């Protein structure tokens, strides 16, 4: 009888633990709430003097975010490589307190990337809008296996002296939430994976070519996430588009070792051992031409000159994809 009691108690404890883990990640997320919220204005309070001192480190610092009078506690750290060194506001990691999320009735997906302005003035704001647009364009191409992003207006409050700066910023979905959405898992030790195991290599390659981005690596999984499914197939999820010709940020330069003179020069990179077959992927992208261009025209807040420039740039890329007249680089 005693043995039966303890066995039953153990089973109950395990069941409750499994249920708790499941419910922590189910239900509405902070990111989902912000995507549904028409008010995307928030305040981020942190000691930016200390953050600047730790720019080259990964130390987290206490912070708080306020939106519509609601305060959430979190930790903030500097992230990135080039942008953490060169930008006036380095990109940030946001890690919210799980207890605070639970208290707000939200699940515990709590790790986010924040893409901040790299330069002051209109050029910095335009670059952020263009990068947000790049994410939206890829979500048209792959609505499921792509990062959801939200363009926020953030007032950064320096708790050291009370000074403030207001700017656009891009909030990127927690990777764990993305994996839950598409029922996948991280593909660890998947470097240099053969093309037969990746279901969207050609589509991602042509998308990067379309927006003029060479700042990624399918072999080393750089500026890409690679997730895998139970059927053994894997999927690339691209991110980080600030060095693309579509964004054409003022701080970028052409990568001469890849044959770029200007950052807007398109280069098609293919690092797989097997030769590519772009026919199906090209037909798919071309079928989305009107939808992609409409996304540009309907992007709220983007300057008309930028819309015209980007539309012209995408049209030229789609013509090149249709003709198939591109040189493949395997460096």
For 235-275, the pLDDT digits (tens) are: 999 999 999 999 999 999 999 999 899 999 999 999 999 99
Is the confidence at residue 277, as pLDDT, over 50? Answer: yes
Is the confidence at residue 91, as pLDDT, over 50? Answer: yes
Determine the Cα–Cα distance for residues 199 and 236; give it in Å rounded to an integer: 8
Contact 95, 60 (CB under 8 A): yes
Is the confidence at residue 18, as pLDDT, over 60? Answer: no
- Burial, 95: exposed, middle or buried (Cβ in 10 Å; 0-12, 13-18, 19+)? middle
Q: What percent of the chain has pLDDT over 90?
A: 78
Question: Tens digits of per-residue pLDDT, 195-244?
Answer: 999 999 999 999 999 999 999 999 999 999 999 999 999 999 999 999 99
Mean pLDDT of the chain: 90
Q: What percent of the chain has pLDDT over 70?
A: 91
Radius of gyration of the chain (CA): 22
Q: Which of 158, 183, 111, 150 is nearest to 32 (CA)?
A: 150
Of 152-156, 185-189, 234-238, give the lowest mean pLDDT range. 185-189
Is the confidence at residue 279, as pLDDT, over 80? Answer: yes
Is the confidence at residue 192, as pLDDT, over 90? Answer: no
pLDDT at 321: 97
pLDDT at 9: 38
Question: Tens digits of per-residue pLDDT, 131-142?
Answer: 999 999 999 999
pLDDT at 5: 36
Is the confidence at residue 17, as pLDDT, over 50? Answer: no
pLDDT at 24: 62
pLDDT at 41: 93
The helix, strand and coil proportions of the chain, stated in percent and rounded to the nearest 5, come to 40, 20, 40
Number of H-type helices and E-type strands within the chain: 11, 12
| pTM > 0.75: yes or no | yes
- For 243, residues 6+ apart whose C-beta sits below 8 A from its C-beta are 213, 214, 215, 249, 252, 263
pLDDT at 25: 66
3-state secondary structure of 156: strand
pLDDT at 26: 66
66 vs 2, higher pLDDT: 66
pLDDT at 40: 87
Give mean pLDDT, residues 69-82: 92
Is the confidence at residue 12, as pLDDT, over 70? Answer: no
Determine the Cα–Cα distance for residues 12 and 106; give it in Å rounded to an integer: 25
């Amino acid at each position: 009888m005693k043995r039966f009691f303890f066995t039953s108690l153990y089973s109950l404890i395990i069941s409750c633990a499994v249920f708790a883990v499941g419910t922590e990640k189910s239900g509405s997320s902070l990111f989902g709430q912000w995507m549904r919220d028409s008010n995307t204005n928030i305040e981020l309070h942190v000691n930016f003097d200390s953050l600047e001192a730790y720019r080259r480190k990964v130390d987290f610092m206490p912070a708080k975010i306020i939106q519509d009078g609601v305060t959430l506690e979190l930790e903030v750290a500097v992230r990135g490589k080039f942008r953490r060194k060169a930008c006036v506001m380095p990109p940030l990691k946001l890690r919210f307190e799980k207890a605070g999320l639970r208290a707000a009735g939200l699940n515990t997906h709590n790790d986010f990337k924040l893409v901040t302005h790299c330069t002051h003035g209109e050029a910095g704001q335009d670059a952020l809008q263009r990068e947000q647009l790049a994410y939206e364009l890829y979500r048209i191409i792959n609505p499921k296996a792509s990062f959801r992003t939200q363009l926020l207006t953030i007032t950064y409050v320096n708790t050291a002296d009370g000074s403030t700066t207001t700017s656009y910023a891009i909030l990127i979905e927690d990777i764990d939430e993305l994996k839950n959405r598409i029922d996948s898992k991280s593909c660890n030790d998947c470097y240099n994976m053969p093309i037969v195991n990746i279901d969207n290599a050609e589509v991602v390659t042509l998308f990067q070519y379309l927006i003029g981005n060479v700042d990624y690596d399918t072999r080393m999984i750089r500026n890409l996430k690679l997730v895998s499914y139970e059927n053994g197939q894997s999927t690339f999820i691209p991110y980080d588009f600030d060095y693309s010709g579509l964004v054409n940020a003022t701080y970028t330069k052409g990568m001469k070792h890849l044959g770029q003179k200007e950052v807007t020069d398109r280069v098609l990179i293919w690092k797989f051992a097997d030769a590519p077959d772009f026919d199906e992927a090209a037909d798919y992208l071309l079928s989305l031409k009107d939808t992609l261009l409409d996304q540009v025209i309907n992007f709220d807040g983007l300057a008309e000159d930028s819309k015209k420039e980007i539309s012209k740039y995408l049209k030229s890329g789609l013509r090149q994809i249709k003709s198939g007249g591109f040189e493949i680089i395997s460096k």
